[in-house]
Amino acid sequence: MEITSLKLVNFRNYQSLTQTFSPKTNSLVGKNAQGKTNLLEAIFFASIGKSFRTSKDKELISWQAQEARIVLNAKNRFREKQIEIILQRNQKKVVKMDGINIRRIGDVLGEVPIVFFSPDELKLVKDSPEERRRFINIDLSQTNKKYFYLISRYEKILENRNKLLKSSQNKSVVLETIDIWNKALAKEGIKIAEERRRFVEEISPFASAANAYISKGEELKIEYSGIDVESEEEYVKKLEKNFEKDFKLGYTTFGPHRDDLDIYLNKVEVKSFGSQGQQRTAALSLKLAELEIIKNRLGEYPILILDDVFSELDEHRRKRLLKFTNRCQTFISTTDEQFCEGKIIKIKNGKAE
């Protein structure tokens, strides 16, 4: 996959930008607050359908403007594609694929697959399981639309079951209808667990290889720690067994919405014992492993976006990282010209040179 050009109108601090890119590495270089991350955000937004910084799309519109526009041109082995997004202050966003309006954002997802890394991604190793589930969900959704809709269905059912648990103080009233939700949850939940288990098995060796390459041989290991049931019946039994607890708490305690990944470095948990550089390298390696997984599924590499990736990495790791990323189109932002490779795009006050 390759992004050939990007056009922005009134997007964040870009009044008007038209930029072409190299199929290899593109380095966005500039001082703080000039618009490097904003440009990466625009690419992300056109590919994923939402921002990595905010859930309020309207924040992306330039302060003085009423409407923002992103036009992204890309091509893969087979054809060229254009994604256009128009954001308006008082209306719903318009998304077009090759000029045709799209209703469901899920239809755009995966058209221009990307892998994104920012310093924030450290959450992936350090923070709560929710971050790791988000990682799995985004990754699987990009290569598997069925998974995207599967997760949406599961979350709706879960919400309904939780609502029911909270709806009455009377246990028998709740018990009257909970069966429907138990069965529905089991049906979708077991599929989610299956997909995730397969995903972790697939990603783990690639992440280990990337981590070993960048770090001079440190040993990374990833394990899925999720629900462990064999059948829908067993799943329903688990829910029934947990009913008293769930009723007391007012929410569902068993299911893939509580899944996690365990990440070990040289046999100890990186979350607790890794240095900053090690944690960053581990998070990065998970992302780099995504490149390989997506390539396995789609037959070609996705776009790699690295926002401010170099801080906290020593020289050896930086160099190795740059070598590693040669395999696909990469966008790197940095404040330091010393680390620039490939096509250098200087960003200054919402303009590119």
- Going by their DSSP bridges, the two strands 25-29 and 330-334 should be labelled as parallel
Contact 35, 27 (CB under 8 A): no
| Residue 118, binding choice from ligand ATP, Mg ion, none, Cβ under 5 to 8 Å by partner class | none
Amino acid at position 113, single letter: P
Q: Which is nearer to ligand ATP, 25 or 333 (CB)?
A: 333
Closest distance between ligand ATP and the C-beta of residue 304, in Å?
17
Among positions 26, 27, 34, 37, the unique one binding Mg ion when judged by CB under 5 A: 37
Q: Which is nearer to ligand ATP, 40 or 286 (CB)?
A: 40
Q: Which is nearer to ligand ATP, 133 or 280 (CB)?
A: 280
Angle value at C-alpha 320, between 275 and 347, nearest 5 degrees: 95
Q: Which is nearer to ligand ATP, 50 or 197 (CB)?
A: 50
- Going by their DSSP bridges, the two strands 91-97 and 343-348 should be labelled as unpaired
Q: Enumerate the β-bridge partners of residue 264.
A: 221, 269
Closest distance between ligand ATP and the C-beta of residue 202, in Å?
33
Closest CA to 73 of 122, 139, 7, 152: 7
Closest distance between ligand ATP and the C-beta of residue 118, in Å?
9
Strand locations in 173-326 (E): 220-225, 260-265, 268-269, 303-307
Residue 334 is a binding residue for Mg ion (CB under 5 A): no
Residues near ligand ATP (CB under 6 A) are 12-13, 30, 32-38, 59, 61-63, 308, 333, 335
- Distances from the Cα of 60 to the Cαs of 11, 108, 269, in angstroms? 6, 19, 38
Q: Which is nearer to Mg ion, 37 or 325 (CB)?
A: 37
Options 33-41, 48-56, 76-84, 149-157: segment touching Mg ion (CB under 5 A): 33-41
Closest distance between ligand ATP and the C-beta of residue 53, in Å?
8
Q: Which is nearer to ligand ATP, 32 or 338 (CB)?
A: 32
Strand locations in the chain (E): 2-11, 14-20, 25-29, 67-75, 80-88, 91-97, 100-101, 114-117, 220-225, 260-265, 268-269, 303-307, 330-334, 343-348, 351-352
Q: How far is CA 20 from the centre of its chain?
A: 25
How many residues bind to Mg ion according to rule CB under 5 A? 2
Q: Which is nearer to ligand ATP, 37 or 47 (CB)?
A: 37
Closest distance between ligand ATP and the C-beta of residue 12, in Å?
4
Q: Which two tokens stand for residue 8?
A: 């922005």
Closest distance between ligand ATP and the C-beta of residue 38, in Å?
3
Instruction: Name the burial class of residue 205, with classes exposed (0-12), middle (13-18) and buried (19+) by CB atoms within 10 angstroms of its CB.
Output: middle
Q: How many CB atoms lie within 10 A of CB 248?
A: 11
| Residue 62, binding choice from ligand ATP, Mg ion, none, Cβ under 5 to 8 Å by partner class | ligand ATP
Closest distance between Mg ion and the C-beta of residue 257, in Å?
32
| Residue 63, binding choice from Mg ion, ligand ATP, none, Cβ under 5 to 8 Å by partner class | ligand ATP
Residues near Mg ion, by CB under 5 A? 36-37
